[in-house]
Amino acid sequence: MTDHVTVTDEDSARIITMRRPDKKNALTQGMYTTMADAINSAQSDPDIRSIVISGGAGVFTAGNDLEDFAKANTSNDDSSRPMAATLFLRALADNEKPLIGAVDGIAVGVGTTMLFHCDYVVAGSTATFSTPFIHLGLVPEAASSLLAPRVMGYQRAFSMLVMGRTVTAEEAREAGFVNAVVAPGHTEAEARKVAREIGSLPKDAVALTRKLLKPAREDVQRRMDEESHHFGERLKSDEARNAFSAFFARKKKA
């Protein structure tokens, strides 16, 4: 567990909220673990009809905490390696409950790619979405290389995942991975409203229809494994090492 994530059950929804505003909700290994546990434990609870992931007001998440990530990746202690992020991504892939994203502010890296696992996404009008994996010498994750083109089309996915271009809330709605754009500060309230609407629908019919709409879980997991392999290889590359060094040098000067 971590103080940087809160998990509450309200009516028929589980609300997972990232709470690290001083770091723009940058995700640590502990945060990943808590969120994965919250998603996984919801699967066997018949009273939980949907799951909401939120960053609270003002920010969704800046993505990986790169200092925490680098520390975990270079540790000699196997238990400290960055497996928590993988567990979280697996939890998203295995999840069978309707998943709702409430995005206020920035959604960077995994903050954007996790949304392709959501069934409904609410974004504040000032929200932005970016996936700067290439700029760090890496490749996308969370099966986004499979899911993003499926949702938004190849050209838009290339622009975001390869070129690293930032997408606005309205552009995300037009692209198809955001359902509704609301006033800043109102995303979580709107997401809770969506959760109540889903909770009022016939449970088994929702589950079956959702399964029919989604790509096969095996395909998603296979793509995650492929991305993970390349991600690990890229971490050892000169491109990635140079990009990380430049990032930490800029941060030190700031």
**What CATH code would you report for 5-184?**
3.90.226.10
Please give the structure tokens belonging to residue 109: 């890296």
Residue 35: per-residue pLDDT = 98
pTM higher than 0.85, yes or no?
Answer: yes
- Give per-residue pLDDT as tens, 36-93: 999 999 999 999 999 999 999 999 999 999 887 777 555 544 443 468 999 999 999 9
d(CA 27, CA 111): 9
- Give per-residue pLDDT as tens, 36-45: 999 999 999 9
Q: Are 50 and 97 in contact (CB under 8 A)?
A: yes
